Structure 1
């Protein structure tokens, strides 16, 4: 089977032994592929690109084991949740982050309270890849990991809801799902137009165009669920929450199978379906409805489950953490700390067992 190199970036919260969000410097310093985010309690763990599921598992396990050990030595833990459950409001820790705060204003709150999974696929037929990953947006339901945002139970994926909608109407074009692309040049034109818009918004807030150009490239100004990364070059899928690494690898594997198929089979539009000789994707308005249901209800929505099964996902193979975190409409800080520590323990056990699933190379050949 045709395969693409695939890499994973997983964001994680850092907490102390009492479950409070804290600085993750010691963890970042432990490995070159553990990087800071723009607030101190959030870090990102990266793999190299791989063509086998076994290698992806082993790489992710190795880096996470290093991260967990470094955290333990500093009396800290790592938490695989899409949000910190209650609100986090630490200051930005770098110049780029501080400019981002200035431009977004109150809308920066969602960026500070969301942790995601980013999966990079080797770029081949970029237009088909961009459109397929757009159509796979409802697959975020397979790994939703937090129903709470700022202490309020909001949706099956509270992260996706907040990240896409809470930044304010003038910024939603930078965070929400984009329509399908007609061509690569048309997609790039969109990115360039959003970059110019970002510079205008920055200027309105007293940030010069020179500063924006020094700190932001067009491709990292847009924060949408699907991005074209020119510098790597990859197509990046950013729809899923941060979650347990076993679920991340399973999802990366399942989605890679579809993205690889798009390199050899035609991608068409109509009733969504995976066929032997083609991939059929829904019209965009129909997709938006399924995505909304995926964010709100996850796999509890029959529409979402049916949609994902039509595209070849075994939904029963997934165990979204959101379903384990159901509770009262409002969650206090004490309860949030307890839940963070519980999920930190689950992360540690999951990492330990990550390579025990090496016999299921359902996606990539060895």
Structure 2
């Protein structure tokens, strides 16, 4: 990893019985712990770091603080893509309240999803946007929950719900966007999407002036890949919340690929990393493969073959959703037990976060 990379990891808050509960007071323990969209959800962040070792140290520091603060309150933290059963808490912020009014029933998906956001230093933004779009199937490496609102859904229930359960009017703001030829084209898409979002809001009784006070164009689009103007970074939002060690490994693997865009063009063609280029598939083919990865995880051979072409060692990842989907439905009692199990796994994972060997550089496939 040569580009600076930052991690944002969302975590559910539970009490000693495994019930979801508020965690805003935990955020007071560290400047890089933030309350999220609903009360039982927090986000922990690293600073931008230029090595996997530095990312591990930073994440271990922030998460260790968060875990200790939670335990002092009789609470635990859980790294799952969904809370397994439904969260229906009201959104505590003005922005959250507006999302509820604008999205209506579609806001249920946002309230029941926890993800990982990776921020890569912006150097070749067009190539970075297109490559991160093409890496969407890599979300299967860390899919952590097959359940959405109590029912078995897909291997990444979060990705499916976030992109598809928000309602047809809002899918364009949450689904994967196609490749672009320039930053100007991307920014024009964002601006046009914001205009449409403002019009939808007006239909639901929220004035354009209020929308503009609460949102920026880039904040209104929640797609798996975003170009951040203020940081400046290219943000990859495809993966579920997962164990920190796997999140850091994924950040290192993806960061190594993103760094190659400084030297090699990203071209549509035969997918994989070559001496003189990084190849990505036609977008329609990618979109179909991404849907397979969301639905079935790493099980389908085309998903594994595709990821291996980019140097991912699929066998080095252990996506939790592969092991959680035994029954068609999950009861509230079982969900509490599962959350407690994953809280224990998180604590053990953080305790060993600095003992893990850094990932080797992504393997390069010869042309």
For the aligned pair, the TM-score class normalised by the smaller chain equals: over 0.9
- What corresponds to 1:211 in structure 2? 210
Residue 361 of structure 1 and its aligned partner are, at CA, apart by 5.0
- What corresponds to 1:35 in structure 2? 34
Q: Do 2:253 and 2:359's aligned partners in 1 also have CA atoms closer than 8 Å?
A: no
Residue 323 of structure 1 and its aligned partner are, at CA, apart by 1.4
Q: Do 2:164 and 2:171's aligned partners in 1 also have CA atoms closer than 8 Å?
A: yes
The alignment's TM-score, normalised by the length of structure 1, stands at 0.98
- What corresponds to 2:365 in structure 1? none
- What corresponds to 1:62 in structure 2? 61
Residue 277 of structure 1 and its aligned partner are, at CA, apart by 2.1
Partner Cα separation in structure 2 for residue 289 and residue 126 of structure 1: 24
- What corresponds to 2:350 in structure 1? 351
SS in 1 for 2:29: coil
Does residue 360 (structure 1) correspond to residue 336 (structure 2)? The answer is no
Partner Cα separation in structure 2 for residue 346 and residue 276 of structure 1: 40
- What corresponds to 1:169 in structure 2? 168
Q: Do 2:144 and 2:241's aligned partners in 1 also have CA atoms closer than 8 Å?
A: yes
Residue 130 of structure 1 and its aligned partner are, at CA, apart by 0.2
SS in 2 for 1:8: strand
- What corresponds to 1:331 in structure 2? 330
Partner Cα separation in structure 2 for residue 323 and residue 361 of structure 1: 22
Residue 363 of structure 1 and its aligned partner are, at CA, apart by 4.5
Q: Do 1:53 and 1:363's aligned partners in 2 also have CA atoms closer than 8 Å?
A: no
Partner Cα separation in structure 1 for residue 329 and residue 320 of structure 2: 18
Partner Cα separation in structure 1 for residue 168 and residue 198 of structure 2: 16
Moved segments of 4+, more than 6 Å: none
Partner Cα separation in structure 1 for residue 124 and residue 358 of structure 2: 28
Q: Do 2:46 and 2:58's aligned partners in 1 also have CA atoms closer than 8 Å?
A: yes
- Matched residue count: 362
The 1:187/1:266 distance shift into structure 2, 3 A limit, reads same
Residue 266 of structure 1 and its aligned partner are, at CA, apart by 1.6
Partner Cα separation in structure 1 for residue 80 and residue 236 of structure 2: 18
The alignment's TM-score, normalised by the length of structure 2, stands at 0.97
Partner Cα separation in structure 2 for residue 25 and residue 258 of structure 1: 36
- What corresponds to 2:97 in structure 1? 98
Residue 295 of structure 1 and its aligned partner are, at CA, apart by 0.1
Q: Do 2:249 and 2:359's aligned partners in 1 also have CA atoms closer than 8 Å?
A: no
Q: C-alpha deviations, 1:89-136, integer Å up to 9, x for none?
A: 000101110011000000000000000000000001100000000000
Does residue 259 (structure 1) correspond to residue 258 (structure 2)? The answer is yes
Q: Do 1:122 and 1:233's aligned partners in 2 also have CA atoms closer than 8 Å?
A: yes
Residue 276 of structure 1 and its aligned partner are, at CA, apart by 2.1
- What corresponds to 2:83 in structure 1? 84
Q: Do 1:37 and 1:43's aligned partners in 2 also have CA atoms closer than 8 Å?
A: yes
Q: C-alpha deviations, 1:182-223, integer Å up to 9, x for none?
A: 111110000000100110011001101111111100011000
Partner Cα separation in structure 2 for residue 66 and residue 152 of structure 1: 33
Partner Cα separation in structure 1 for residue 99 and residue 325 of structure 2: 33
Does residue 141 (structure 1) correspond to residue 152 (structure 2)? The answer is no
Q: Which moved more, 1:323-332 or 1:64-73?
A: 323-332
Partner Cα separation in structure 2 for residue 27 and residue 305 of structure 1: 39
Partner Cα separation in structure 1 for residue 77 and residue 326 of structure 2: 22
Partner Cα separation in structure 2 for residue 193 and residue 269 of structure 1: 25
- What corresponds to 2:3 in structure 1? 4
Q: C-alpha deviations, 1:134-166, integer Å up to 9, x for none?
A: 000000000000000001101000000000000
Residue 178 of structure 1 and its aligned partner are, at CA, apart by 0.2
- What corresponds to 1:125 in structure 2? 124
- What corresponds to 1:187 in structure 2? 186
SS in 1 for 2:176: coil
Structure 2 unaligned residues grouped into runs of 5+ = 363-367
SS in 2 for 1:35: strand
- What corresponds to 1:278 in structure 2? 277
SS in 1 for 2:327: coil
Structure 1 unaligned residues grouped into runs of 5+ = none
Q: Do 2:266 and 2:277's aligned partners in 1 also have CA atoms closer than 8 Å?
A: yes
